[in-house]
Structure 1
């Protein structure tokens, strides 16, 4: 999405992204293998791979992964982190112009990045690079907005201090929209509980990894961190808070 400079807006947040963004639950890969029939012989294209969090999940399970990422600092971070895996390769490309050969992939994955993509152009490109009856799987960690004092306070903090939080948050697709995107090839969805236990430094880093968190020098930056400290102190148990998610995945064919 050019209006939000989606391919560049994380460039100055890479260190926090690497250290503090959550991974994905092992149950997600179990579901893909058990319910969707994928296995380690499948060639994976991880689109919008960022720093490689989702790529690592597949690499650890023995898959070969091509990470497609347009942001050079994030792609470099992935290469530095994952270079020891023989099955890993990172390339510059976007969701609608991956640069990958036609019918060259068995599985196309998108973790957390789908809301930045042009959905129509992306679907056409994924269909092009997938082999016949290949699978696309799209998922994200959806932060819980209610249920605990911390979760509700954190959402209020973002509403108050986030630079473009509302416009970014509204880009997440709901179930009906994802089913429509897959169309007749839709194969199923699942949801898994996930979370992080964070001390204050990790919570601060998790916040600052978000593209809508104002950076140092912005008039909202210091007030935001002060509010975060107050929220943490009010909610922490034994020096940490629980940052809770529901990890939602959708899978299907695109032919």
Structure 2
């Protein structure tokens, strides 16, 4: 068990960390650029059967459906999964299941593609790799995606100070957890990265929701949460554009390949 998983377990486990953050997650997490799905379509044309692991509220799942894929959202937290179902349950080709990357509720050789956006750091890599190999059809592949905050941006430096003040042991463990170093063990070799700029604009309430959506941040209805609200209000005032929104630059990174 990695230090990240130990820190998460001490707080009730990774699914429980998000149980009280569903609304903030829905309101604030950035989506994914169209260019990423255009690139994916060249690598794995639609229609195809996709399992989106750690799907959360369905942000990445929606992009897959929009691109023409049939998609099963696999998510262990019932609140997150219910939010995805509410958003996407009417869409053709959508389904959801309770499950983890290490225990996939899917039949052998049933998927053409497995995706995980902002979720790979929670994987037990050897067990998740074995499960993905079981579930993928011959010639199937995996796509791992991250929306990385641009560290040089002043607004992100200010957010980092808030996260450092209130994030505690779990944030420290996340910072020390080098998930990219596990990519060769997961894929069997190091896949080539693909990246593109991305941007998000958030109102004051959206920025606050983004901060509280982090797994390591305190809940709103706590003394620490109220202090976070005051800090984020000051941050918004300092960085907001004339329209009242804060511009948050990202770099979307993706790794695509077969499990060798």
> Do the structures match in fold with TM over 0.5?
yes
Aligned residue for 2:208? Answer: 204
Q: CA deviation at 1:223?
A: 1.9
Aligned residue for 2:130? Answer: 124
Q: Does 1:24 align with 2:29?
A: no
Aligned residue for 2:160? Answer: 155
Aligned residue for 2:229? Answer: 225
Aligned residue for 2:104? Answer: 98
Q: Does 1:48 align with 2:48?
A: no
Bigger Cα displacement from structure 2, 73-82 vs 163-172: 163-172
Aligned residue for 2:19? Answer: 11
Q: Does 1:189 align with 2:197?
A: no
Aligned residue for 1:237? Answer: 241
- Measure the CA separation in 1 of the matches of 2:70 and 2:83: 18
Q: CA deviation at 1:225?
A: 1.6
- Measure the CA separation in 2 of the matches of 1:41 and 1:147: 38
Q: CA deviation at 1:109?
A: 0.3
Shift in CA distance, 172/71, structure 1 to aligned 2, threshold 3 Å = farther
Q: Does 1:139 align with 2:145?
A: yes
Shift in CA distance, 225/172, structure 1 to aligned 2, threshold 3 Å = farther
Structural RMSD (CA): 1.6
Q: Secondary structure at the match of 1:8?
A: helix
Q: Secondary structure at the match of 2:196?
A: strand
Aligned residue for 2:255? Answer: 250
- Measure the CA separation in 1 of the matches of 2:46 and 2:157: 40
- Is the Cα contact below 8 Å between 2:113 and 2:141 reproduced in 1? yes
Q: CA deviation at 1:94?
A: 0.6
- Measure the CA separation in 1 of the matches of 2:134 and 2:250: 32
Q: Deviations over 1:9-60 (max 9, x none)?
A: 10111111112111111111112222xx211121101111111111100111
Unaligned runs of 5+ in 2: none
> What is the count of residue pairs matched by the alignment?
250
Q: CA deviation at 1:172?
A: 5.0
Of 81, 84, 90 in structure 1, the residue corresponding to residue 90 of structure 2 is 84
- Is the Cα contact below 8 Å between 2:73 and 2:95 reproduced in 1? yes
Q: Does 1:177 align with 2:167?
A: no
Q: CA deviation at 1:221?
A: 1.7
Unaligned runs of 5+ in 1: none
Q: Deviations over 1:114-167 (max 9, x none)?
A: 10110110011001100112010101111222232x221111111112233221
- Is the Cα contact below 8 Å between 2:212 and 2:220 reproduced in 1? no
Bigger Cα displacement from structure 2, 77-86 vs 235-244: 235-244
